[in-house]
Structure 1
Amino acid sequence: MRGSTVVPPPHTGLGLAGKIARAFIDSKLTPLLVVTAVLLGAFSVIMLPREEEPQIKVPMIDVLVSMPGANAKEIEERVTRPMEKLLWEIPGVEYIYSTSREGESLVIVRYKVGSDPNESLVKLTEKLRSNFDRIPHGVSPPLIKPKSIDDVPILALTFHSPDYDHLTLRRLVAQVDDAVKQVPLVAETTIIGGARRQVRVLLDPVRLASRNLSPVGLIPMLRQANRQYAAGGLTSDNREVLIETGGFLRTAEEVGQVVVGVFGGKPVYLREVADIVDGAEEPTQYVLFGYGAAAAAARTDRHVGSGSTAPGEEPAVTLSIAKRPGANAISVAHQVLKKVETLKGTVIPSNVAITITRHYGETAMEKSNELLLHMGIAVVGVALLIWLTLGWRESGIVGVAIPATLALTLLVFYLYGFTLNRITLFALIFSIGILVDDAIVVVENIVRHFHLPANRGRSWSAIAVEAVSEVGNPTILATFAVIAAVLPMAFVGGLMGPYMRPIPIGSSAAMFWSLLVAFIVTPWASIRILRWGKKYSQLTQPVQQGQAQQQTPDVAPGGAAGAGTEMAVAAAAPAQPASQLPAATQPHSASAHEEDFFTRLYRRLMGP
């Protein structure tokens, strides 16, 4: 060869990274893989339940035992302490809290973090049932009630109106409650406030004494009258008619018709010895709704009903709704509100206002959207930093790798059963700073190889594959070193372990996916995006025809059309004067690798 010809170095074999890059750099499947990854990430964002905080499995079970007539000390000695000793024998129990008071004992059993709630409930139930023979005389069987984080309401609707009293509002909300329970994924609903209907019997001692009756004798008669029995049936002609006797008392008139005794040969009705009132029960709590002066003037926010706008307190009843485990709080709350809207005008009168006093789905949506926005800002910030240091083309290459990596990380969250909350989103934001390392290293080395004089006239695919293979092993080692440093945090015990677990798992998954994306997507994107503009276009002009035909043995030519184009360009090269060739292609020229931002800044600051 002539002195102006630069022979590329002999190929010494590709490593694992180079083989991966060679398989995908010219493959038509590579862009499909990128699109598929982004679509899977979008699917995961849509399907992941959104919450403010991650759900932690901490099974807690309440055990309530009553012993009427016993004082607190007797309850503690005869009930609470023996039951505590018994419950400590259950494997997996971490804490036991107990409260003894007059007539009853409450024991709260808390299992270790991560224990299965159903298995924990079965263990406790079997333990108590197998020791029923040890229950002291006069003590009721234990009432077992499991508790979980899903028992916390995600939505609270307050019904209020100045035109209705507490009794009427509670009856109205009870009908709404029946309709809301039909919504899928709704668990427990609770009516707070209002007054239940109650028929009260106010005995008159004078009238009782005049008919020779006592209050103690009236109670069994009222109980007997307020019962319904199955009295058998009549069968004839292949038909069976069931017969029931008695019935439940529903009105004050029916209660007054109950015969409570006989005096002077005549029946004595309850209305003759008592006053019967059909109304509300004695209040034990009050729920009122009111606005301050400022809020009353602008109360359109979060108000989904009609009613009085005058400031002041109004009778109110609150309906709280909890979701089932694993359900999306946002979708459940939306379905409940939609169901309530359909009840307006039929079950819910127009003069009853509905105010959302708690909307966990809305706050979860706001927090998750805010964190998603910050994640987007972080992505843009990283892209701008790469643009300032390497260039806009290199920034575009890394910009392709970041969404694909984040999308695959979101898919890991979905498959792992996580929810979209502040911790998982923080894990994604934290991962952005470390997942770009692999792509930056690969892109920078590809650009460096493109500027080497020895690579003039060679196939861009071959150059990129060799560049990836050169930094592949160190990149793999560095990536797994970061994973090895972060992943052990996923095995921390206690409450903080499950709470912070999305961070090490998400970061490790992001690093692993970023490594694959750097070897699969980044070389493919580099040889296509770097061709844009004039900065790298001259690098495709070979010096001689012979150089265009010298390629790495492990990299096949890009087809007949590509080979023909390279030969045509190479054939035209000798006709050009040496002065018209790029500086790097002239004989014995130095490397034309363009200095990066920090090198130029250093020379400018340290120069004379």
Structure 2
Amino acid sequence: MSLSGFSIKRPIFTVMITLVVVVVGMVAVSRLPVDLMPEIVFPTLNVSTSYENTGPEEIEELITRPIEEAMSAVPGVEEVFSSSSEGSSSVRVMFSWGVNLDAAADDVRERLDRVIGRLPEDVDRPTLRKFDPAQSPILMLGALSNLDPVLARRIIDEQISYRIERVPGVASVDVFGGREREIQVNLDPDKLKALGIPLDLIITKIRQENIDLPAGIIEKGNYEILVRIPGVYTSLDEIKETVVVVREGVPIQLKEIASVEDTFRRITRIVRINGLPGTRIAIYKQSGKNTVEVAEGVLKEIEEIQEDIPQIQLVPVSNSSQYIKSAIRNVSSSALYGGLLALLALLVFLANVRSTIVIATSIPISIIATFALIYFGGFTLNVMTLGGLALGIGMLVDSSIVVLENIF
């Protein structure tokens, strides 16, 4: 018995199966993650290394070149591209398509472990990242305030960023611009030269004094008391009174050879919002999350933040969810118009209302069933999947005509 004959002889069973497919498809549509493009994994890894206060030539010689040599020996590498700038090194490793990127990342980490010993001692450990074009900010905010710039940046870092990161689907928040608080120790070179105090000794002394140390356990009867020696600086006076060295039995404090100031970092980047100095806040979403839902959740949280912290004005600068909704709306409307025009053409050429209604019913049911397959397949609702559905409408019309001709 053919499928068409089985369906005609058992109409109730056929209707129930169709309703189940429609219900599952509708539920899948409501839960499908929405994004602009499908997730694409490029076979590229990026090794970033930071070495502050170092020129590009020294960065290339001391860091970039050893890492390049190590990466060139990794199996499956097709091309190695590097960039050296002041204080940072970036090495991009490109593999052939189809390579297992997780296994390649393990090989790269192994090579990095071997080359770390050749790098300067005080350089930051190289970080390995996958090249993911989807990990771009979904939302950019600008922060404006009449408060002290250092205080405004501190509120953004400690309160606003923390609250945004709690929104479901948010992976991280990047704050850029503004004035960051910094304690500066400005040394007097003449005094250092006269006393014969090396610079590395001062740095070591400050680091040693600015730590908390565990001092063991004191047992007293049935109790165990944890002992800790607090040593973290809590005021400028504590920093100034740090003993750097002892000369002929006389301690030399830091305030005698340097000035200690509570100020902000040197400004190297300027952010302007609506022509005024401000701070940029970039928000990144977690992989596989619905971009539109995450952006809407962040905007809702921002409204609550504005009520709690009215001194700082948060202005949306860019919102990728709006572009995504507009793009999906355009593709969806194009598919709808194409389907309606196809049905109109069928009605004109077939001159049979009943056959046209059958075909018109098969198109939405098939599309809704496709949404269920997209959901269970782990895909996202994006421009590519909707474009495929739009093209599939034409094939549905052709298939429906063939089935009708075979039935009648």
**TM-score, normalised relative to structure 2:** 0.85
Partner of 1:164: 147
1:279 aligned to which of 263, 266, 284: 263
Matches within 5 A, 1:338-353: 338-346=300-308, 349-353=309-313
Residue 29 of structure 1 aligns with which residue?
Answer: 13
Please tell me whether the aligned partners of residues 359 and 401 of structure 2 are also in contact (alpha carbons under 8 angstroms).
yes
Q: Is the alpha carbon distance of 1:391 and 1:423 closer, same or farther for their aligned partners in structure 2, counting shifts above 3 Å?
A: same
1:322 to 281, 284, 291: 284
Residue matched to 2:366: 405
Paired residue for 1:430? 391
Task: Say whether the 8 Å CA contact 2:71–2:93 is kept in structure 1.
Answer: no
The equivalent residue for 1:362 is 322
Q: Distance in 1 between matches of 2:168 and 2:103?
A: 25
TM-superposed deviation, 1:114: 5.1
What is the one-letter code of the residue matched to 2:315? T
The partner residue of 1:225 within 203, 209, 212 is: 209
- Give the secondary structure class of the aligned counterpart of 1:31: helix
Would you say how many aligned residue pairs link Structure 1 and Structure 2? 399
* 2:177 pairs with one of 193, 204, 208: 193
> Percent of counterpart pairs with the same letter?
26
- SS of 2:2's equivalent in the other structure is helix
**Structure 2: stretches of 5+ with no match in the other structure:** none
Question: 1:449-492, CA deviations, whole angstroms, 9 ceiling, x for partnerless residues?
Answer: xxxxxxxxxxxxxxxxxx52x7xxxxxxxxxxxxxxxxxxxxxx
The amino acid of 1:172's aligned partner reads I
Shift in Å, 1:321:
1.6
Q: Distance in 2 between matches of 1:138 and 1:126?
A: 19
Report the CA distance shift for 1:80/1:276 in structure 2 as closer, same or farther (over 3 A): closer
- C-alpha separation in 1, matches of 2:256 and 2:89: 43
- AA in 2 matched with 1:426: G
- The corresponding residue for 2:379 is 418
Paired residue for 2:240, among 238, 241, 256? 256
Q: 2:102 aligns with which of 103, 107, 118?
A: 118
Query: Does the alignment pair 1:50 with 2:12?
Result: no
Offset from partner CA, 1:276-331 (integer Å, 9 cap, x none)? 221211112111111xxxxxxxxxxxxxxxxxxxxxx3231122121222111112
Q: How is 1:177-576 mapped onto 2 (pairs within 5 angstroms)?
A: 177-204=161-188, 208=191, 212=195, 214=197, 216=199, 218-260=202-244, 267-290=251-274, 313-346=275-308, 349-389=309-349, 390-443=351-404, 445=405, 467-468=406-407
Residue of structure 1 equivalent to 2:3: 20
The alpha-carbon deviation at position 138 of structure 1 amounts to: 4.6
**Matched residues in 2 for 1:59 and 1:384: separation?**
47
SS in 2 for 1:227: coil
Q: CA deviation at 1:75?
A: 4.7
CA contact (8 A) 2:302 2:314 kept: no
Larger Rg: 1
**Taking CA–CA contacts closer than 8 Å with sequence separation of 6 or more, which of the two structures ends up with the larger relative contact order?**
2
Amino acid at match of 2:213: Y
Gaps of 5+ in 1: 1-17, 291-312, 446-466, 471-608
Pick the structure with more strand per residue.
2
Distance between the aligned counterparts of 1:210 and 1:39, measured in 2?
A: 82
Is the alpha carbon distance of 1:209 and 1:37 closer, same or farther for their aligned partners in structure 2, counting shifts above 3 Å? closer
Partners of 1:73 and 1:358 lie apart in 2 by 36
Q: Which residue of 2 aligns with 1:79?
A: 66
SS of the equivalent of 2:212 reads strand
C-alpha deviations, 1:160-182, integer Å up to 9, x for none?
Answer: 12x12432222121122122223
Q: Kindly state the Cα deviation for residue 403 of structure 1 after the two structures are TM-superposed.
A: 0.7
Which secondary structure does the structure 2 equivalent of 1:152 belong to?
coil
Equivalents in 1 of 2:96, 2:297: separation in Å?
34
Which amino acid counterpart does residue 344 of structure 1 have in structure 2?
A: Q
How far the C-alpha of 1:60 sits from its partner, in A, is: 2.5
> Aligned pair in 2 of structure 1 residues 114, 361: CA closer, same or farther (>3 Å)?
farther
Aligned 8 A contact 2:178 2:271 in 1: yes
Instruction: Give the whole-Å Cα distance in 2 for the aligned partners of 1:329 and 1:235.
Output: 55
- Partners of 2:73 and 2:138 lie apart in 1 by 35
Distance in 1 (CA, whole Å) between partners of 2:103 and 2:248 is: 65
SS at match of 1:283: coil
- 1:112-150 CA distance string (max 9 Å, x none): 445554333223223444x459x5475769613212234
Q: Aligned partners of 1:169, 1:404: CA distance in 2, in Å?
A: 54
